[in-house]
Amino acid sequence: MSRLCLGGASLGSMPTTFAYAVPPEDAHATVRAFFDQSEINFIDTAAIYGYDEGQPEGFGESERRIGQVVRERGGLPPGFVLSTKADRAPGANRFDGEQARRSVEGSRERLGLERLPIVYLHDPEYCSWDEVVGPGGALEILRRYRQEGVIEHLGLAGGPIDVMLRYLDLGGWEAVISHNRYTLLDRSAEPLIRACQARGIAMINAAPYGSGMLAKGPGRYRRYMYQDAPDEMVERATRLEQICQRHGVPLAAAALQFSLRDRRLASTIVGMTKPQRIRETLELARTPLPESLWAALDAAAGFA
Ligand SMILES: NC(=O)c1ccc[n+]([C@@H]2O[C@H](COP(=O)([O-])OP(=O)(O)OC[C@H]3O[C@@H](n4cnc5c(N)ncnc54)[C@H](OP(=O)(O)O)[C@@H]3O)[C@@H](O)[C@H]2O)c1
């Protein structure tokens, strides 16, 4: 798969999580623009994307929107890779085997795909360890689906690094997603990146803009990881933006390339909800950045 990946969380419209809604026509147009180009061949979604405070019916909405365009194209076009995630029962956080089965079957139906190229066990940090990994739990069912070939590759996706490392130790993972924790402002995923590298597991970095602040700028979008950013973080982001301005480059280019230039990462997942974002992202990825920028950004963000 390509080193850039289109992220599908906001494509499902999650107005509380992202602080703006995304109409279906924008999502469809973005996915069409994605299938119409040839440089990014990787798209990521999850069963739960679209579920948000006050909109329980949103569960599956990102997959439904992506699935509509997949159907228009007569299936996943050759050469494209799609990943989705098996999810807990929203609200209840139940994640037993039955829930995993319901989630995977729902994904196949919504996406219109018999076989799912990559499925991640998603956000286990919200769930009981025993329920997920115990006999008849979510993990057992996902492994069975992989044996049967319904799931081609099984991955692990989630947040807190200590929880991710505990799950990683179970073995059998082919890909791992971490999010918001390896950016210009947060490096806490470093131990997970090292652990994946040591085990030969594809490490995928999601949310290089910290869910938006490092793309839109702290003046326009004062949020990090789906909530209001603390003042000290906004101050650091503002310093980073000023340094980029002095170097004559966009903050978004530095944020994106911080992830892309790290060869330990197999891919970087970027959330986009407008068709022009695909071209903009490719331009940001190609923007020449002076080598001296990185040390200046590290120092300003407190990582020197
Ligand atoms: N647990 C997990 O497995 C997990 C967790 C988090 C994320 N992820 C995956 O990673 C993906 C990316 O994460 P994310 O979407 O939360 O955060 P992100 O990629 O850090 O940021 C997305 C935000 O950046 C904005 N943006 C992107 N390109 C831009 C541009 N050229 N100019 C201005 N703004 C731009 C988007 O705005 P617009 O909406 O205006 O385009 C959106 O608000 C998710 O969609 C999901 O697939 C997985």
Pocket of ligand 1 (CB under 6 A): 7-10, 18, 44, 122-123, 157-158, 177, 179, 206-212, 215-216, 252, 269-274, 277, 280-281
pLDDT at position 269? 99
Provide mean pLDDT across the span 59-82.
98
Residue 304 has pLDDT above 90, yes or no: no
Give residue 177 CA to ligand 1 midpoint distance, Å. 14
Give residue 10 CA to ligand 1 midpoint distance, Å. 7
Provide mean pLDDT across the span 80-93.
96
Q: Is 132 exposed, middle or buried (0-12, 13-18, 19+ CB in 10 A)?
A: buried
Task: Name which residue sits closest to atom 1 of ligand 1, judged by CA.
Answer: 158
Q: Which residue in 201, 119, 120, 207 sits closest to 157, CA to CA? A: 120
**DSSP per-residue string spanning 84-105:** EEE-PBTTTTB-BHHHHHHHHH
Residue 235 has pLDDT above 90, yes or no: yes
For residue 259, name the pLDDT band (cuts at 50, 70, 90). Answer: very high
Provide mean pLDDT across the span 117-145.
98
Provide mean pLDDT across the span 228-234.
98
pLDDT at position 180? 98
| 196-217 b/e (C-beta count within 10 Å ≥ 16 → b) | beeeebbbbbbbbbbbbbbbeb
pLDDT at position 276? 98
Residue 260 has pLDDT above 90, yes or no: yes
Query: Are 156 and 142 in contact, with CB atoms under 8 Å apart?
Result: no
